[in-house]
Amino acid sequence: METSIMKLYKNPDKNTWETLSTRAQLDKTQLNDTVTTILNEVKENKDAALYKYAELFDKVKLKTLEVTQSETENANNVISEELKKAIELAKDNIERFHSSQREEPTIIETTKGVQCWRKSVGIEKVGLYIPGGTAPLFSTILMLGIPAKVAGCKEIVLCTPPDSEGNVHPAILYTANLVGITKICKVGGAQAIAAMTYGTETVPQVYKIFGPGNQFVTKAKELVQQQGVAIDMPAGPSEVLVIADETANPSFVAADLLSQAEHGTDSQVILVTNDVTVIEKVNLELEKQLNALPRKEIAAKALENSRTMFFSSVEECVEFSNVYAPEHLIIASENAEAFIDKITNAGSVFLGNYSCESAGDYASGTNHTLPTYGYAKNYSGVSLDSFVKKITFQKLSKEGIQNIGNAIELMAAAEGLQAHKNAVTIRLNTINNLI
């Protein structure tokens, strides 16, 4: 047990669990000031500021900010037929799962003559941010674009950074076109969030912004939320917690930990187990699999911020997981379903030895845009609900206002709101022919 590749904690006292649940702390010196400056400049100078920042941050002098039709068509020719089929399979599953979340209005008669119901209406204008750096996340377009279309959002704007040649990754363009996004802009970083918040000559203003990003993007989303634009959720670096018992497959567990660790150096992976031999076997697999990864250095750095936790029982493992509140929770056990009712805090849960996190990241159908940094305690992952507003309706007949009118009058009077009372009294008097 002492040879754990990640720092090992044995039966830690519950008083230390909160501390052990802390994520990697980023150096945020001057981050707020830097992002505020970018936001203000884009608000003031619009497209001119976006061209400037593309040259400064992306090292490219762009001729236009919007992706052209010919660029999209070219991407379609570049992508292999095999990848196209894989993306289409994922699209079908994601569409099927999110379409099932539609709610038909149900009229409830709360009192005779009083009808109440709720209707879901798509947010008219939404913005999607898609990272395009070391890992161009075209899969996130499926996760955000599909529910936006299912919800009936009228305008879907996508911003993603260009490469040093001024191009957008062809898989991003192909996927965006496949799901029906027509406005794609070559804008990255905090400046993209600013552009979608304030609007520029090229980038339309939106009402809600979705998508992951680096610390500059995250900070920008945090700041613009205070200015009236909605965001999907607060976010930090990606993470996974794996609960593994004696029935787990160590090579599977190691692969799951590394699949998360390769996201970035600030990602965090946690192994929680009640079996000593699992730790030893997983460590051997980690070393073997890590050496074969192209992103080995990134994954290795992430493992430095990661932990192995040993508890005497699986119940304690689950209890610790609820305190940690992971973005992704894998229960690597043949008995995984027995713990479903005990899970209270997690973004998305993967049950059993064959439910790898990669399935949810790409093609099982669930959404991979999930709360990180412990926000799973009070936030849900993205779903169809994220792209709609719920508008309530009510309709009162003469009988309805008579049935609840007196109660309204009494309550309004008790609160000292005479006009509220009068709005009812006048109607009741009219019905009773007293006016």
pLDDT band at 2 (very low <50, low <70, confident <90, very high): very low
Instruction: Quote the CA–CA distance of 195 and 190 in Å, as a whole number.
Output: 9
For residue 335 the two structure tokens come to 């008995």
Active site residue 337: no
Instruction: Quote the CA–CA distance of 354 and 359 in Å, as a whole number.
Output: 9
Q: Which residues contact 353 (CB under 8 A, 6 or more apart)?
A: 247, 248, 249, 252, 332, 333, 334
Instruction: Quote the CA–CA distance of 47 and 243 in Å, as a whole number.
Output: 48
Active site residue 319: no
pLDDT for position 5: 81
Segment 112-162, tens digit of pLDDT:
999 999 999 999 999 999 998 667 899 999 999 999 999 999 999 999 999
pLDDT for position 50: 98
């390769």: which residue's tokens?
262
Mean pLDDT of 221-245: 94
Closest CA to 386 of 119, 196, 75, 144: 144
Q: What is the DSSP letter of 186?
A: E
pLDDT band at 4 (very low <50, low <70, confident <90, very high): low
Phi, psi of 173 (to 5 degrees): -65, -45
Helix (H) or strand (E) holding 351: strand 348-351
pTM (predicted TM-score): 0.94
pLDDT band at 300 (very low <50, low <70, confident <90, very high): very high
Segment 180-212, tens digit of pLDDT:
998 999 999 999 999 999 999 999 999 999 999
C-alpha dihedral (32, 38, 43, 44), degrees to nearest 10: 120
pLDDT for position 435: 57
- With beta carbons less than 8 A apart as the criterion, state whether 20 and 207 touch: no
């056990």: which residue's tokens?
333
Instruction: Quote the CA–CA distance of 208 and 122 in Å, as a whole number.
Output: 11
Q: Report the chain's mean pLDDT, rounded to a whole number.
A: 95
- With beta carbons less than 8 A apart as the criterion, state whether 433 and 151 touch: no
Segment 413-433, tens digit of pLDDT:
999 999 999 999 999 999 998
What are the DSSP E strand ranges found in 91-235?
108-111, 114-122, 125-129, 155-160, 183-186, 208-210, 230-231
**Cα–Cα–Cα angle for 52, 57, 63, nearest 5°?**
45
In the chain, % of residues over pLDDT 90: 91
pLDDT for position 132: 85
Instruction: Quote the CA–CA distance of 200 and 263 in Å, as a whole number.
Output: 32
**Cα–Cα–Cα angle for 137, 36, 39, nearest 5°?**
60
- 3-state class (DSSP) for residue 120: strand
What are the DSSP E strand ranges found in 283-339?
307-310, 328-332
pLDDT for position 25: 73
Checking 379-385 for CB contacts under 8 A at 24+ apart, the result is 379/233, 379/234, 380/347, 381/233, 381/347, 381/348, 382/143, 382/144, 382/147, 382/210, 382/232, 382/233, 383/98, 383/101, 383/147, 384/98, 384/99, 384/101, 384/102, 384/147, 384/150, 384/151, 385/101, 385/120
Segment 306-363, tens digit of pLDDT:
999 999 999 999 999 999 999 999 999 999 999 999 999 999 999 999 999 999 999 9
| The pLDDT of residue 407 is above 70 | yes
pLDDT for position 409: 98
pLDDT band at 1 (very low <50, low <70, confident <90, very high): very low
- With beta carbons less than 8 A apart as the criterion, state whether 332 and 251 touch: no
Between the alpha carbon of residue 336 and those of residues 172, 325, 333, the distances in Å are 35, 17, 5
**Cα–Cα–Cα angle for 101, 131, 180, nearest 5°?**
50
SS3 track for 23-90: CCCCCCCCHHHHHHHHHHHHHHHCHHHHHHHHHHHCCCCCCCCECCHHHHHHHHHHCCHHHHHHHHHH
Ordered domains of the chain (ranges, CATH): 7-24+237-365 (3.40.50.1980), 31-233 (3.40.50.1980), 397-431 (1.20.5.1300)
Segment 17-47, tens digit of pLDDT:
999 999 877 667 789 999 999 999 999 999 9
| The pLDDT of residue 3 is above 90 | no
Q: Which of 262, 327, 357, 368 is catalytic?
A: 327
Instruction: Quote the CA–CA distance of 141 and 367 in Å, as a whole number.
Output: 11
């992306």: which residue's tokens?
58
Q: Which of 98, 169, 263, 328 is catalytic?
A: 328
Mean pLDDT of 4-21: 93
| The pLDDT of residue 247 is above 90 | yes
- What is the side-by-side order of every strand in the sheet holding 114-122? 108-111, 114-122, 388-396
Segment 355-385, tens digit of pLDDT:
999 999 999 999 999 999 999 999 999 999 9
Judged on CB neighbours under 10 Å (0-12, 13-18, 19+), 294 is: exposed
Mean pLDDT of 281-298: 96
Helix (H) or strand (E) holding 236: none
| The pLDDT of residue 289 is above 80 | yes
